[in-house]
Amino acid sequence: MSAPHTDTRVETIIEKAEYMESCLTLLSRTQPIGYDAYVGDVQTRDFVERRFEKLTGAALDIARMLVKDIEGNAPNSNAAAMECLSDVGVLSSPVASEMAEAALFRNVLAHEYGDVLDHETVYEALQDLERYRSFLYEIRDYLENVDAL
């Protein structure tokens, strides 16, 4: 395992991780909303869906940067970038699998909307933000282990 190539690269990863943390804080504030209230409130649904897109996008940016630094190039798919982080020892296999699912979830959010989108799936994801927290923890642990922090 090698560290990201430059201090600027590490700063970018840290900025994206901090952004993810702010998204998690905002999303956690909407967790107490009951399912019926969630489905009935278009503004809340829009907020949650967009935050998940941005949260997952930041995680994918981090994954692709790290894979590129370690392997020389990043896989074509976002889910594969997460799995690759497990292959190179950055993420545990369970977290990589959960984040690969998050990458697919992000694609659904980006391409489906309105009544086509399964609101129950989004609500369930809202109730379980732990995969993102685990991702951040393991990324930070990796950066500390390679003396990048």
- Per the document, the length of the chain is 149
| Structural domain of 25 | 7-144
Taking the whole predicted model, whether its pTM rises above 0.75 is answered as: yes
Query: Quick check: is 1 in a domain?
Result: no
- Tally of domains in the chain: 1
**pLDDT at position 114:** 63
Tell which residue, 60, 83, 64, 82, has the closest CA to residue 72.
64
Residue 106 lies in a domain: yes
Asked whether residue 128 is assigned to any structural domain, the reply reads yes
**What distances in angstroms separate CA 146 from CA 2, 7, 92, 121, 129, one per listed residue?**
7, 13, 16, 37, 27
pLDDT digits (tens, 9 = 90+) for 15-38: 999 999 999 999 999 999 999 999
Domain-located, residue 69: yes
In a domain, 149, yes or no: no
Question: With helix as H, strand as E and coil as C, how does the chain read?
Answer: CCCCCCHHHHHHHHHHHHHHHHHHHHHHHHCCCCHHHHHHCHHHHHHHHHHHHHHHHHHHHHHHHHHHHHHCCCCCCHHHHHHHHHHCCCCCHHHHHHHHHHHHHHHHHHHCCHHHCCHHHHHHHHHCCHHHHHHHHHHHHHHHHCCCC
CATH for 61: 1.20.120.580
Distance CA 74, CA 72 (A): 7
In this structure, is residue 75 part of a structural domain?
A: yes
Q: Is residue 54 part of a domain?
A: yes
Write down the pLDDT at residue 30: 96
pLDDT of residue 143: 94
Question: Which of 94-98, 106-110, 126-130 comes out lowest in average pLDDT?
Answer: 106-110
2 found inside a domain: no
